[in-house]
Amino acid sequence: MICKQCGTPNDEGTNFCISCGADLRGEAIPPMGNPGFSNFSTPVVNVTLEQRNIALCIILSFVTCGIYTLYWFLKLTEDTNKISGDPNATSGGMAFLLCLVTCGIYTYYWMYKRGDYIDRYMSQCGQPGGSNGILYLILTVFGLGIVSYGLMQNELNKIATNRF
């Protein structure tokens, strides 16, 4: 069962959520068995995300010589992990470490996976699916990773305000 309040998966027949303690009797969502997600059932529909001004994020990234981009990377990872509902999703710090260790190669996978999480969330909400993962990947291959960040943030801002 998935808790409606926090989205945490719980064992079948559990009366209270293991994460937030919410009463699950008759309230929880049964897992849907989404084959696209490996070992979790469905993205969290009621998720709280922080909206960010995209232009300000880009300006701060340039003014700080990329230091703000690292913070933005961590926040984008956290937000996309929230909408994915995957309890085993790679944390922002681990994703950053993997990008460093692989000399940036992991960044391409990260871009694709973040776009995939957004696409799956949108399709779970009844919106037409896109190919954000491929778009982010292609932009990054051509050196336009910051554009991918901006597009990703735009989608997350839409999700945060339910304007999709």
Q: Which of 6, 43, 41, 34 is nearest to 21 (CA)?
A: 6
Residue 104: how many other CB atoms lie within 10 Å: 12
pLDDT (tens digit, 9 = 90+) per residue, 113-160?
A: 999 999 988 888 777 778 899 999 999 999 999 999 999 999 999 988
Helix (H) / strand (E) containing 121:
helix 105-124
Cα 155 to the center of its chain, rounded Å: 10
Q: Which two tokens stand for residue 133?
A: 């993962």
Q: Is 146 helix (H, G, I), strand (E, B) or coil?
A: helix
User: What residues have CB less than 8 Å from 9, skipping those under 6 apart?
Assistant: 1, 2, 31, 40, 41, 87
pLDDT at site 4 = 74
pLDDT at site 46 = 65
Burial class (CB in 10 A: 0-12, 13-18, 19+), 137: buried
Question: Which residues in the chain land under pLDDT 50?
Answer: 28-41, 43
pLDDT at site 36 = 43
Q: Which two tokens stand for residue 129?
A: 């699916």
For the chain, the structural domain boundaries read: 54-161
Average pLDDT, the chain: 83
